[in-house]
Amino acid sequence: MKREEALNLVKQEVKTKNLIKHMLAVEAVMRRLAEELEQDEDLWALAGLLHDLDYDKTVDHPEQHGLLGARILEEKGLPAELIQAVKAHNEALGLERVTLLDKALYAADPVTGLLVAAALIHPQKKLGAVDLDFVINRFREKSFARGADRGQIERCSELNLSLDRFLALSLEAMQNIAKDLGL
């Protein structure tokens, strides 16, 4: 599936504007991680873009999140590795994260919320104004962006990336699409 087709599918299935922005952010982070780890950039980016495809429909049933999306993606003929990562990113399903793709998507999902929150509390309210030190300081504040699970983000170590490197790559990726994110 090409990106344009995937984006059309997202727009068809997802009605929440901020959720679409989140999916775009995860797509960008996943592409940058794939580049860093010498993986298939297009596959990883698609996983990021499509990972919450079913969220609007499963928001009240977290035990179903990822499963409905996986069925849609299977019907579209997407690779099994991508489909597994989409399912494995939801902790509620209890699936083991085995591949680098699984592990990257799991860590990338919450880091985007942390970075958006950091941008929003910055005096300029722009991702471009945020630097790594600012993000690391916010990361250490447990009351800041509570929805961004620190433990999940720290699982970047399973990618052989330090927290600092992971945050730097994620910030860079999101800064590159800041206009699309409205930040």
In percent, the amount of the chain with pLDDT more than 70 equals: 100
User: Average of pLDDT values for 71-99?
Assistant: 95
Q: Rounded to two decimals, what is the model's pTM?
A: 0.96
Q: What residue numbers bound the domain in which 157 lies?
A: 3-181
Burial class (CB in 10 A: 0-12, 13-18, 19+), 96: exposed
What would the pLDDT profile of 25-78 be if each residue is shown by its tens digit? 999 999 999 999 999 999 999 999 999 999 999 999 999 999 999 999 999 999
Q: Name the pLDDT band for 153 (thresholds 50, 70, 90).
A: very high
Asked whether residue 92 carries a pLDDT value surpassing 90, the answer given is: no
Asked whether residue 9 carries a pLDDT value surpassing 90, the answer given is: yes
How many domains would you assign to the chain?
1
| Averaged pLDDT score across all residues of the chain | 96
| Confidence (pLDDT) at 96 | 93
- Residue that is written with structure tokens 């929440």 in the block: 16
| Confidence (pLDDT) at 139 | 96
* CATH number (domain holding residue 30): 1.10.3210
Q: Are 50 and 69 in contact (CB under 8 A)?
A: yes
Q: Name the pLDDT band for 101 (thresholds 50, 70, 90).
A: very high
Q: Which two tokens stand for residue 126?
A: 């722009």
Residue of 46, 29, 73, 63 whose CA lies nearest to 176: 29
